[in-house]
Amino acid sequence: MKKSLVIISFAFIFLLSMSIISAGDINQDGKISFGEWLKGIWGKITGKAAGQPSPPIISWTQWFDYDSPGGSGDYELLTSLRTAYPGKICDSPANIECQTTTGLDYTATGEVVTCDVTKGAICVNAQQPDGTCNYDYKVRFYCGTTCSDSDGSDITNQGIVSINDGFTLTPSEDVCMGTAVVEFTCSSSSALQATGTPTPCSSGESCQNGACVRVISATTCSDSDGNNITNQGIVTIDDGFTLTPSEDSCVNSSTVTEYTCSSPTASQSTATNYPCLSGESCQNGLCSSCQPNYVKSSCIDDVAVFKDTSSCNLPDYNSFYDCDGNGLLSWPACSGINLNAEGNGVFINFLPFNNLTNYTNMGNKTMQLAENYQGIEFDWDFSDKFNFCDVSLETSDGDDNFGYVVFDYTGGKIKNKVAFVDRINKSGKVCIKDAPVKVISDVSAKCNAPNEILIDCPGNFTAKNPTYNYNCTITPDELQYQIWPLKHSAVKEMIGLVSAAGNGTGTSSCTENWNCTDWTNITDQCGERTCADLNNCGTTFDKPLESKDCSLGSGGCIPDWICTDYGECVDGFKERVCTDSNNCEVGTDKPDETSKCGTNKIKSILFIIFGIVGLILIILIILYFIKKRKSDEEDSETQVHHQPSHPRSPPHAPANVHTPRIPLTHQR
């Protein structure tokens, strides 16, 4: 009986241990919830789940603001948010939005902020121009279903349609079905499942690895002129599906490119350049002694058509031409400036452009090109014809939150330009890009990229740095900045440089723009150098190192890692962010940003549970023996009460023999 009880006890402990381990209900703090533990045990015993996962979160989540500015920054980490808001964020968010708590997009704050769907929003004080994150940030995540197709319904490529509901990524890859391909597509960008359509391959094609491919049996190559540079020939490659021609052409006026076949079955033509003979020129892909004579045959809207009147019979060609002789090679419409739109215009010598006016030989005149009431002013000598088709003008409009002007003229250099830029934010600072620019996105957000100059307005930059001579003033109506003289023509009103910790007067903080000499040890990039702030901000937040010990390795820079506190424990791990205050740009000795957590707590809890279970079993065993002993005593008393009234006396023992006294319950 005792042996059976011990076996049962050990079996009970073993089963209970396996149930605890298999239940696996460990919360985000690394602790086992007793209620969840019981549910897990019940699920293991009955085979029924005690609780189901949260349903998928469709579309955008709520806004989350877990951390506040202070300490080393503002950290809205995804791992911390999952802990603070369990079940509110899907496993694999498809997108993220980061704003300040007042609704300002993080890109408009002027602060260095990481907005990453896999991490969350991170603002580190040490990375800011003024050393402080001045905004409190919030984030939200997109958890709706998205459908993407890698090949866009192209049956000649094997594509994959991916359905992402925020929790599970479900792929559907194009497959072959006989001579047809099953092409999976998205019925919409938010489709819940892929749509598979069997599509037969074209004649001469077969389905291989989920795509229709050509079955090429043979390729032929033919040359129409047989490598004759005095004729314009064509080499044709025929693979049974497509004819690929290569026509002889002119490299320049004295060299011809002759295409030939290396063999009758060559899969591509061979190109060889040949010089024409003396007295010949390359015309229409052949060498000829004929001399063309081009004559303007027509001219409409400043585009002329030229014809060859010689026996060479060369093709016509078109070219810009001052058809009306007004000193202009094209009309303003060619530049994209709509003269009928409000705020747009072309002015010559401060008078509106007139296509009936002859500007030829008028000498040096002032030209103004305007779009959305902004634009460029410069002087042009009309001894040279001006081509509006070489003009590119881009300005801000009502949808932009800062003013800008980008001007380019490919027909030649225009110096000493004046730009007029709207004061949308009245920030008092503009950025000048002293290099050719096509679009405003080429200008950096903080005006600290190469060839960028930050200038106060009103102000003069020459006093700060004689290398540049820029001036900025505000127009009398206070609606625009006026900047001059510009070598190139990209000017942007700066935003996000107003200190949020200022006195409320809108005093602008300055963005440092450091320029350094070469290191004294150029090979190892160490030693000594001198760095100067081109913007003369008077601060050194982003100042590069001017001294590096060459004996230390890694260019002599010693990283100084500053780490935030670890976040909450999630799935057995916790995270932090580490940045190098010396900006060595190397990962040497970088501390770990991820650490395991909760493991020791789990073991401690399991030991406690085993101890409690063992103690309970010991108590039960003791109670069992106490109860059994009490039961035996009760049975003894019962037998005493049922003995005969006159039991026989035991026989007399022999003399001198001691007879032990026998209890009544043992008499027979």
* pLDDT tens digits, one per residue of 35-45: 444 444 444 44
Looking from the CA of 46 toward its CB, the CA atoms found within 13 Å total 9
Q: Is the pLDDT of residue 18 over 90?
A: no
Looking only at Cα atoms, what is the longest distance across the chain? 169
- Please state the rounded mean pLDDT for residues 32-55: 44
Q: Is the pLDDT of residue 504 over 50?
A: no
Integer Cα distance of 138 and 436 in angstroms = 38
pLDDT tens for 186-233 read 998 878 889 999 999 988 888 999 999 988 778 899 999 999 999 999
Q: Is the pLDDT of residue 128 over 80?
A: yes
> Would the CA dihedral through 121, 125, 126, 128 be positive or negative?
positive
> Residue 507: which residues within 8 A CB-CB, separation 6 or more?
498, 499
At 375, list the tokens.
């634009």
Q: Is the pLDDT of residue 17 over 60?
A: no
Integer Cα distance of 604 and 616 in angstroms = 18
Nearest to 243 by CA among 212, 219, 264: 219
Supply the mean pLDDT for the chain: 79
**How much is the pTM?**
0.39
Integer Cα distance of 301 and 315 in angstroms = 21
501 pLDDT band, cuts 50/70/90, is very low
Top mean-pLDDT range of 257-271, 296-310, 358-372: 257-271
Cβ count within 10 A of residue 397: 12
Q: Is the pLDDT of residue 10 over 70?
A: no
At 349, list the tokens.
């010598």
